[in-house]
Chain A
Amino acid sequence: MQTENIINATLLNIVAALLIFFAGIFLLSEAETSREYSMFVTYISAFFSLTYILVFMYVSKQISYIYITCAINFYF
């Protein structure tokens, strides 16, 4: 990948990773939930988000798409 493309891809995928993070919080959280559970949900969402960007950047696009499909399934 050319350097310019790497930076463009990183910038776009940071946004995607943040969307995954906030989507996780939104879909997994429940009202009146305990603090432990809430923290667990936030951690899992951040973990998915971070793994997504790392896999996308350093492994391959295709694997990251498979990965994100699995993450969305987990959310629902």
Chain B
Amino acid sequence: MFLNKYHIYISLALSIFTFKCLIGVLHYLVFMDGEYFATGAFSYLNDHEWLLTSSTRTASHWQEFGITSIPIDFQADKNTFLIPYFSLVFYLGDNYHFLNFTILNSLHNMLTAVLVASFSTLYVGRQTAQVIFIIALIQPFGLFSSILWRDSVGQTFLVMGVIMIMQYAVNKKNFNLAFLGVFLMALLRNIYLFAGILSLFYFSLRSKKKTLILKFVNILTVLTLVSFFYIYFYDPIMNLYDFSGKSVAYNLDALGFLRKIIIAFLGPFPWLQIFNPEIPGREYMLADIFQATYNLAIMFLLAVHLINTKTKFRSYLNQTALGMIIIISMLGVLSYGHVSYVTVGSVLLLPILNTISLRKFLKVWFSIITINFTLSIIWYAI
């Protein structure tokens, strides 16, 4: 009950939800396939088609063998748990109308905002929690909600996981639920398991009294680290000649890495490339530009806040929030450097900004967008 004038916030959330659904559907009809409501079939980049084929396969398996049965190649799928979650829309709806994912994505965007606002009550007063709720609502992550990706839904689970870790790691009675939080984080990408376990390990290091469960955390950390290094570094180390290679996700080429960092934080630059039909994925690029600038605005405000208030991150809560977001961002940069990978956790930094106001945030955000757009035009002119 931390919102005053609740009806305004409820109306705002429902309006933004409806707007996101509309913009997603319209974007699909205009830029992808105007015939969707007649007979349109989905055809786009491989990664997007993968989500649809995997969900369809799982849902049709359930329709044939029942929901308690698991497809034979279940664990071999790129994302073991979120695909069945998407498949529920097909299975329960008894159809394969894939644009319904637009609404699923938009709903999860809203739920993320509710979670962030609720989480912010650990840090800030009611007034600021209201502001944070609005800022989280306008997050442009998955702005064109018709996009067939798992990130909008995954972000909700990631945020829920981080909150659970922070809420229950310090709570002796419910420490087990922190493990559930780690699992929820890993729903989006398996690698986030590493970030979750590491934050629990950090808590274990800070604790003076080592309980049985904290010893278990230590063992789990060692096992996770060994698995992590085996999966991600074993091949490159064993194949030194292939270090720049295509067998792993990383590109260790220095210039390429620098480029990745720039794109990850600035977004696709220059933005005018969205008009070039030869650029793959240009249809959804604008959302990435807004998301990258949104992320930059949060980082800028965080830096200003840290300088002005001389905040010392002594509490487990602050250190974990910041530490986990840095790990998630860095993992994003190290893998493919996609904006969505790098910025997926940035909303969790909002509660730390206890002096934030909506006007200040919008001012910074629009300034960054203006600078980005202007620099792009200059780039093209030169």
Q: A26-B92, A39-B103, A46-B21 are in contact. List 5 more A-B contacts (CB 8 A).
A: A1-B1, A3-B121, A14-B114, A54-B9, A58-B2
Chain B residues, Cβ within 8 Å of A6: 1-2, 118, 121
A42 touching B167, Cβ below 8 Å: no
Q: Which of A4, A14, A35 contacts B97 (CB 8 A)?
A: A35
A7 and B163 contact, Cβ closer than 8 Å, known pairs A29-B95, A53-B111:
yes
Pair count A-B, CB < 8 A: 112
A41 touching B93, Cβ below 8 Å: yes
Q: How many residues of A contact B (CB 8 A)?
A: 40
Residue B188 is within 8 A (CB to CB) of chain A in the complex: no
A57 touching B114, Cβ below 8 Å: yes
> B84-103, CB under 8 A of A: which get 1 and which 0?
00001100111101011011
Bound Cα distance A73, B3 (Å):
29
Residue A65 is within 8 A (CB to CB) of chain B in the complex: no
Residue B6 is within 8 A (CB to CB) of chain A in the complex: yes
* Chain A min CB distance to B355 (Å): 19
Chain A residues, Cβ within 8 Å of B164: 11
Bound Cα distance A43, B3 (Å):
26
* Chain B min CB distance to A8 (Å): 8
* Chain A min CB distance to B307 (Å): 27
Mostly, the A contact residues are helix
> A34-76, CB under 8 A of B: which get 1 and which 0?
1110110111001101110111011110000000000000000
Bound Cα distance A55, B14 (Å):
11
> B9-52, CB under 8 A of A: which get 1 and which 0?
11001100110010001000000000011000000000000000
* Chain A min CB distance to B111 (Å): 6
A39 touching B118, Cβ below 8 Å: no
A-B contact pairs, 13 of them (CB 8 A): A4-B167, A6-B2, A6-B118, A10-B115, A14-B114, A29-B93, A31-B95, A35-B99, A46-B104, A47-B18, A50-B13, A50-B107, A57-B3
B14 touching A50, Cβ below 8 Å: yes
Chain A residues, Cβ within 8 Å of B156: 14
Q: Which of A33, A42, A60 contacts B103 (CB 8 A)?
A: A42
Bound Cα distance A10, B102 (Å):
24
